[in-house]
Amino acid sequence: MAATLCEMATNFQKLDCFDGGNFIRWQRKMHIFLTTLNIGYVLTDARPEENENETLQDTRKRKRKKWENNDYVCRGCILNGMSDSLFDTYVHESTAKELWDKLEARYMNEDATSKKFLVTRWNNYKMIDNKSVMEQFREIEKLLNSFKQYDMKMDESIVVSSIIDKLSHAWKDFKRTLKHKKEDISLENLANSLRLEEQNRVENEKELKVQVSDVHVLEEGTSS
């Protein structure tokens, strides 16, 4: 039992506290945690019924007692994995399954709404000229990671093509070059290409400023 409690404490520290967001991810982590403790079965297996006519009555009682104990621990783990406000809302659910079902009924729908919002954000995202391309690329990567949290998968070639389309007007020539490549471009290769191009543009801009400065110095020397 001591080893089990130690394992429970160690694994529990790895869990995010559920505050109403990213339910699917939290639910999966919690289910893995409960399964590791061998108590997750109470979410699917019904409580063993009492039956005085059973010849193996003592065995039935032991199984029922074990289920009740595991259900209590399971319910406690789920509640303790929630924020204080949600704990207060759901603490009165009598079994782990009732608690689990209540959470699914509410937050699965909210996650569905979040998915629609995420797709809208992706479709409407456009890069701008007065901001680093790589900084904007990292913002896009965060959006893509959010898709993964919801198990929303997109083909990499479609993702790459979409990101190229999001490049700003100042990158129209580079965009055209990328689109005319015959071979498929991976997301990693696209990131490297954008990084190198941005570095080259920064260097060219510095050189141009130096040249302009030199011209001004020459003009001032001539006029004097």
Q: Where are the domains of the chain?
A: 2-109, 125-223
Q: What is the pLDDT of residues 29-66, one digit of tens each?
A: 999 999 999 999 999 998 887 765 555 567 778 888 99
In this structure, the number of other CB atoms found within 10 A of the CB of residue 81 comes to 20
Q: Tell me which residue of 164, 162, 133, 134 sits closest to 147, measured CA to CA.
A: 162
**Which carries the bigger pLDDT value, residue 115 or residue 179?**
179
Question: CA dist 184 to 119, 160, 193, 197, 198, Å?
Answer: 24, 9, 13, 19, 21
Instruction: Give dist(CA 171, CA 190) in Å, integer.
Output: 14
Question: Is this prediction's pTM over 0.85?
Answer: no
| Helix spans in the chain (H) | 2-12, 23-36, 57-80, 84-90, 96-124, 133-149, 156-165, 172-179, 187-223
Q: What is the pLDDT of residues 61-113, one digit of tens each?
A: 888 899 999 999 999 999 999 999 999 999 999 999 999 999 988 887 777 66
